[in-house]
Structure 1
Amino acid sequence: MTMTDDPTKATTDNTRVPDPIHAPGAVMPPLGECALLLDIDGTLLDMAPTPREVWVPPELATALGRLLQLTNGALALVSGRSLNDIDLIFAPMQFPAVGGHGAEMRLTPENESVAAHAPPLDKELKRRLAAIAKLSPGILLEDKGYSLALHYRLAPHAEQAIYDAVSAIRADLPNAPIEVLPGKFVCEIKHSGFTKATGVIELMTHAPFTGRRPVFIGDDVTDETVFAIMPGMNGLAFSVGRHAQGVAGHFGEPNDVRAWLSQLVKNSKSIG
């Protein structure tokens, strides 16, 4: 069965993805059968000059809380941020989450976070990488434990110098098990062997996520590993700000994602 073209007049279990998503014909599984997996920066939240300056609109927190209930707990934030940082941003609310690009995981809001087999970066390596922040004023250093991020939104002219310095360190340590993740005005260096995709795969083996169809929304290069695994998991992937390869559709900006999530809540009320 299909529903009417107007998503606010839904009368069946399936919810056709409404505007502003660019996904003609894409059909959401029922909320009780899907797992909502959501990146944070650049997807749920607008980018800010520094990671600490992001703002969570009250209506977003409300929608996420309601969707957590409607999915019976199968909603998770999937981020490069640490779980502690995620909790600070969304306080006082807590959500299931995959943090640190798959290094950490929390299955329910009440559970303690657990490491997903991810060793922290070597201290000496961190020290050398941290020194790169001295290349220019405006480069912000963020130590996540499992990774180290160099943010240059306030110093965009330093991009090439940052990557050159990271490459030089990697050349000195060719056997170091590290991976460089380019992002939006950020260069992140993490231990290899785990990604957002490995975190999502692990997450989906645990209740209440197991057996559900994942629906993932992300915006950055680091989200592409998750885009790539969605077809094999019978899932849907949507990108933000660009039409990434392999996704079912895309949103223009985070505000569109927030409006869509609010619409899902409204749809559930009209169906119920």
Structure 2
Amino acid sequence: MTSKLAETAKRLTSDSTPASAISMPRLDQCALLLDIDGTLLDFAPTPREVWVPPELEHTLRQLHDRTSGALALVSGRSINDIDLIFAPMKLPAVGGHGAEMRLLSSGEAVATHAPPLDPELKSRLAAIARISPGILLEDKGYSLALHYRLAPHTEKAIYESVAAIRAENPHAPLEVLPGKSVCEIKHSGFTKATGVIELMKHHPFTGRRPVFIGDDVTDETVFAIMPELQGLAFSVGRHSDVVDGHFEEPRDVREWLVGLLDQPVT
């Protein structure tokens, strides 16, 4: 963990400002960057069971148009997985924790030179799922996720097993991402933040003020870079003094996004 990210995590508090109290830039001047699970969508027992409300698809399409395409989904999921969830809609995206990117809704996903996990290590990490039939293994290509929402009692055993494999391979560039009922392992060197920084260099995002909304530990890398990008950051569920405001739950985010469409069209 970088010193900047460590400082971000350390400063979590319980008195941040509601998002509704923050003044937003005009839609023609900002780039909307939105995490998916726990931010736009409510959590489900398994990653495949998440549901996209029809009204959310309508809202995202309108915001995509009003921002001239500067709306991107920023997720640990692969872009292929994102497209399956939101089908038939496709949006610009940063997927795989920054491993891949799509700049235009009509474009193709491209890798960002992020190295994949070593196949042998990946196999050993995947075997951890045998601890319990309630552990769901998800291969995201550039990372491996062990979901234990259906087997919460296995959390300690999962992290201990991952730690043991890392101890046996001290020089392997692995990064462990603890999440909400999930332990994810990826190659170090790329994050959601590196993906967002690259995204903001390209049309239609460049020159705009980024507005990022996220809910989990992996989103803290993006929270940390918003000041240097003159952006705004909002957390969901967890209050923090390193963000500009917060939402209590995904439903509040969805309602807030609808409210953005009330801005006058210039």
TM-score > 0.5, shorter chain as reference = yes
- Which position in structure 1 is the counterpart of 2:35? 39
**Could you tell me which amino acid in structure 2 is paired with residue 172 of structure 1?**
E
Residue correspondence of structure 1 range 133-148 to structure 2 within 5 A:
133-148=129-144
Residue correspondence of structure 1 range 86-125 to structure 2 within 5 A:
86-125=82-121
- Which position in structure 2 is the counterpart of 1:175? 171
Secondary structure at the residue paired with 2:94? Answer: strand
User: So what's the TM-score if we normalise by structure 1?
Assistant: 0.90
Give 2:246's match in structure 1, choosing from 239, 250, 267: 250
* Distance in structure 1 (CA, Å) of the matches to 2:121 and 2:20: 47
Please, which runs of 5 or more residues in structure 1 have no aligned partner?
A: 1-20
User: So what's the TM-score if we normalise by structure 2?
Assistant: 0.92
Q: How many residues get paired?
A: 250
Q: Give the CA deviation at 1:137.
A: 1.6
**Could you tell me which amino acid in structure 2 is paired with residue 37 of structure 1?**
L
Give 1:235's match in structure 2, choosing from 218, 231, 237: 231
Q: Identity across aligned pairs (percent)?
A: 75
Q: Give the CA deviation at 1:253.
A: 0.2
Query: In the alignment, is residue 222 of structure 1 matched against residue 218 of structure 2?
Result: yes
Deviations 1:109-156 (A, max 9, x none): 111110011111111011000000000120000001100000000000
- Which position in structure 1 is the counterpart of 2:198? 202
Q: Is the 8 A contact 2:77 2:140 kept in 1?
A: yes
Q: Give the CA deviation at 1:244.
A: 2.3
Secondary structure at the residue paired with 1:27? Answer: coil
Deviations 1:22-47 (A, max 9, x none): 04752111100000000000000000
- Which position in structure 2 is the counterpart of 1:211? 207
Give 1:73's match in structure 2, choosing from 69, 79, 84: 69
* Distance in structure 2 (CA, Å) of the matches to 1:127 and 1:245: 39
Which stretches of structure 1, 4 residues or longer, exceed 3 Å deviation after superposition?
A: none
Q: Is the 8 A contact 2:38 2:250 kept in 1?
A: yes
Secondary structure at the residue paired with 1:44? Answer: coil
Q: Give the CA deviation at 1:245.
A: 3.6
Secondary structure at the residue paired with 1:169? Answer: helix
- Which position in structure 2 is the counterpart of 1:63? 59
Q: Is the 8 A contact 2:20 2:256 kept in 1?
A: no
Query: In the alignment, is residue 151 of structure 1 matched against residue 125 of structure 2?
Result: no
**Superposition CA RMSD, Å:** 1.1
Q: 1:24 to 1:50 in 2, by over 3 A?
A: closer
- Which position in structure 2 is the counterpart of 1:17? none
Please, which runs of 5 or more residues in structure 2 have no aligned partner?
A: 1-16
* Distance in structure 2 (CA, Å) of the matches to 1:166 and 1:263: 43
